[in-house]
Amino acid sequence: MRADLAAVYGQERLPRYTSYPTAPHFSAAVQPASYAAWLKAIPEQATASLYLHVPFCRSMCWYCGCNTMVAKRDEPIAVYQSALRCEVEMVSRQIGRRLAVGHIHFGGGTPTIMAPEAFVDLIGALRHACSVQPTAEIAIEIDPRTLTADMIGALGRSGVNRASLGVQSFDPVVQQAINRVQSFEQTGAATTGLRGAGVGGINFDLIYGLPHQTVASCLETVRCSLELRPERFSVFGYAHVPAFKPHQRKINELSLPDSLERYDQACAIGNALKQAGYVQIGLDHFALPDDAMAIAFRQGRLHRNFQGYTTDSNEVLIGLGASAIGQLPQGYVQNEVQVRAYSQAIAAGRFATVKGYALTDDDRLRADIIERIMCDYGVDLEAVCKRHGARPEQMLRSAPRLQALISDGVVELNGASLAVREGSRFLVRSVAAAFDAHLDAAQRLHSRAV
């Protein structure tokens, strides 16, 4: 990575491009009736993915940017789980058949906060309403601090085969500063238990740019993590947006590393993981060479959705739960963010959709280009434009930001073939942003490029 480029581009606030257009552009023009019509129009042969959002944790991590809330009691979680079941049934009735499902992802919050028997029941409801494929990936996000042996058993019995464990940092000083004290032993016990229950695909989430974090502490976290040899790592830069996430105000801004320090931390983590045999994938993922994600990356079959990089190629993503976002061929839909408003809508027998975005042909073209850049570090504009009935020259003319990236040596353009140079791949978001026709309207809402 080049430090000079980090200094030039590192302060830009850019989307992570888990969708295009991104969520700040969703509006109330898309309502429950829109969603109902889009569900009804899902093609007969379509295979879908399901995302279920469980917005509860036992305590608040101060760095968190997710839609979550603290639940000290189990009753609100049980009520919410019932609402999820009802929403699953509503969606199935609207589609009018058992939809084929190839991927299921439980996110949060802490999905494993549900009672084990409630989780098994919810999986049963999904299998009853949908035709879950035998090869389906069923993934869940986990806080190792609260994972119980009973829940591990429930995950194994339910067919969960991939788990993402929040680690962030093993540095006790950093852990205190972000209100997440988690020992290596807790993480190791969770990893061993999951593997013993048949959950074979383990991912660790790491974060750089946290308060009091240093290159040395980042490397120590990587060293400890490698002892457990997860199949994948996700490595994210902390996004400090206290105006939108008030609990982040508990973090002292003076303790945060600057852009160049963040750059050094990202470099150190990435280099250490590659030296340990992991393949770097896109912006922020690393995987062992024989992992399905690494194979998809080599074969040009990698995709990107609201859960980040994925092997999921399904056109339909059904979002279930408060704040959940779905993607259908016509566009995006998002549910009520507040749990109470979401539950009230579902209890009244209506979809909880509050906003969304209806895609245009230009959006679909740009989404395709941006996804390939984010996944492949480059794009064949000729091939992509041909699929959409457009011309590469037209797209290049519509991307004035691209010229500076070419001049600075970030991007190489050979005819209509664009490639991000090896030492500049940490700026892949900046390259993708060159084709974002909506960028300027929402830049302040996004995290820094480095």
As annotated, the residues of the chain forming the CATH 1.10.10.920 domain(s) are 1-14+360-450
Dist. CA 85–CA 98, nearest whole Å:
15
446: amino acid identity, one letter: H
What architecture does CATH give domain 1-14+360-450?
Orthogonal Bundle (1.10)
Shortest CA distance to 243 belongs to which of 422, 65, 4, 431?
65
Taking residue 370's Cβ as centre, other Cβ atoms within 10 Å add up to 25
Query: Could you write out the three-class secondary structure of the chain?
Result: CCHHHHHHHCCCEECCCCCCCCHHHCECCCCHHHHHHHHHCCCCCCEEEEEEEECEECCCCCCCCCCCEECCCCHHHHHHHHHHHHHHHHHHHHHCCCCEEEEEEEEECCHHHCCHHHHHHHHHHHHHHCEEEEEEEEEEEECCCCCCHHHHHHHHHCCCCEEEEEEECCCHHHHHHHCCCCCHHHHHHHHHHHHHCCCCEEEEEEEECCCCCCHHHHHHHHHHHHHHCCCEEEEEECCCCCCCCHHHHHCCHHHCCCHHHHHHHHHHHHHHHHHCCCEEECCCEEECCCCHHHHHHHCCCCEEECCEEECCCCCEEEEECCCCEEEECCEEEEECCCHHHHHHHHHCCCCCEEEEEECCHHHHHHHHHHHHHHHHCEEEHHHHHHHHCCCHHHHHHCCCHHHHHHHCCCEEEECCEEEECHHHHHHHHHHHHCCCCCHHHHHHHCEECC
Nearest to 86 by CA among 348, 374, 433: 348
Topology of the domain comprising 15-320: pyruvate-formate lyase- activating enzyme (3.80.30)
Low-confidence ranges of the chain (pLDDT < 50): 443-445
| pLDDT of amino acid 259 | 82
What distance in Å separates the CA atoms of residue 161 and residue 102, rounded to the nearest whole number?
13
> What is the predicted pLDDT for the residue at 449?
52
- pLDDT score for 1: 57
Q: Where in the sequence of the chain do the CATH 3.80.30.20 domains occur?
A: 15-320
Q: What does pTM read for this prediction?
A: 0.93
Note the pLDDT of residue 444.
47
Strands 316-320 and 308-310: unpaired
Residue 25: how many other CB atoms lie within 10 Å: 17
